[in-house]
Amino acid sequence: MALLEVNDIHAYYGNIHALKGVSLTVEEGEIVCLIGGNGAGKTTTLRTICGLLRPRGGNVQLQGEDLGHYAAHQLVSKGIAMVPEGRGVFSKLTVQANLELGAYTRNDKAGINQDLKQVFHLFPRLSERRNQVAGTLSGGEQQMVAMGRAMMSRPRVLLLDEPSMGLAPVLVDLIFETVQNINREGTTILLVEQNAHKALQVASRGYVLQTGEIRLSDTAVALQNNAEVRNLYLGIQ
C-alpha cells in the first residue's frame, strides 16, 4: 500500500473538466515529481489532494484512508502540507511568526521549538531574519519561509507547487538541494515543477500530465531518456 494514492480523480472548475481520471501513487520516503506544461492540471492535482478542490469522481487516500471526509484544514493534522505556488507568506508578519503559524494544529511546545530550530538549520538565512517582516524578503527567502512553515506541521507528505518559480539560478539550486535534504530526513514529497530538468534530477519517479490526463509515468532516469519528454520538457532534440 502506497503512502499517498490518487485514484481516478475527476475535477472541475465549473463546467471545465480539469482532471480526467488522474491516478498516481507516492511511496513512503520517495520524491515523486509531476511535470507538464501550463494548464496541464498540475496545481489542480495538488489542490485536490489537499482538499482545496473537491473531486466529482475518484478519491485520495493516505495510507489507505479516504481523505474525502475531511476539510482542507483537517488534512494538515492528518499529515498533508502544501507549499503553494507564489509562496503565500503572511507579508505583514515576521519570519518567525510565519513559521509558528505552520504549527497551529500542534500543542507540543517543546517539539515546536525543536522543529523551529531545525527549520533555521535548514535555512540559515531565516535564522538571521527571524524578526524581519516577511513581505520585505526576497523571492527566494519567501520561498524558504513557505517551505519552513509547511515543515512546522510535521507533514507525512509535503506537496510542493513550483518551488523554483521566479528564482535566480543560484537560488533554484539551493531550493532543490533543500528539497533533497528534507526528503533525506524522512519527509515524503510530491513535487510539481515546470523546471522538468531539475525535478527529474531530484525525484525517483515521475508522471507527465497533459490536458488533465497522465500521459507517461516511469522512473526519473527513464523519463530523462524518453524522446518525447526530452523534446517537449527538457528542450533536448
Q: Where are the domains of the chain?
A: 1-79+155-237, 89-154
Question: Edge-to-edge, what's the strand order for the sheet holding 205-210?
Answer: 80-83, 157-161, 188-192, 31-35, 205-210, 213-219
Q: For residues 166-172, give the mean pLDDT.
A: 87
Which tens digits make up the pLDDT trace of 170-182? 889 999 999 999 9
> If you average pLDDT over every residue of the chain, what do you get?
94
Which band of pLDDT confidence, cut at 50, 70 and 90, is reported for residue 237?
low
Which tens digits make up the pLDDT trace of 83-135? 998 878 999 999 999 999 999 999 999 999 999 999 999 999 999 999 999 99
Which tens digits make up the pLDDT trace of 41-77? 999 999 999 999 999 999 999 999 999 999 999 999 9
Q: 35 near 228, Cβ under 8 Å?
A: no
Residues 6+ apart with CB under 8 A from 110: none
Give the separation between CA 80 and CA 150, rounded to whole angstroms.
9
Helix (H) or strand (E) holding 173: helix 169-184
Helix (H) or strand (E) holding 225: helix 220-225
Location of C-alpha cell 489507505: 64
pLDDT for 43: 96
**The model's pTM:** 0.94
Q: Which grid coordinates are listed for 180?
A: 533533497
Domain covering 1-79+155-237 assigned CATH 1.10.3720.10 in the classification: no
Q: 141 near 135, Cβ under 8 Å?
A: no
Which tens digits make up the pLDDT trace of 137-152? 999 999 999 999 999 9
pLDDT for 168: 86
Q: For residues 169-198, give the mean pLDDT.
A: 93
* Sign of the alpha-carbon torsion through 66, 68, 69, 72: positive
Calculate the alpha carbon distances from 147 to 57, 65, 158, 231, 232 in Å. Answer: 30, 26, 9, 31, 29
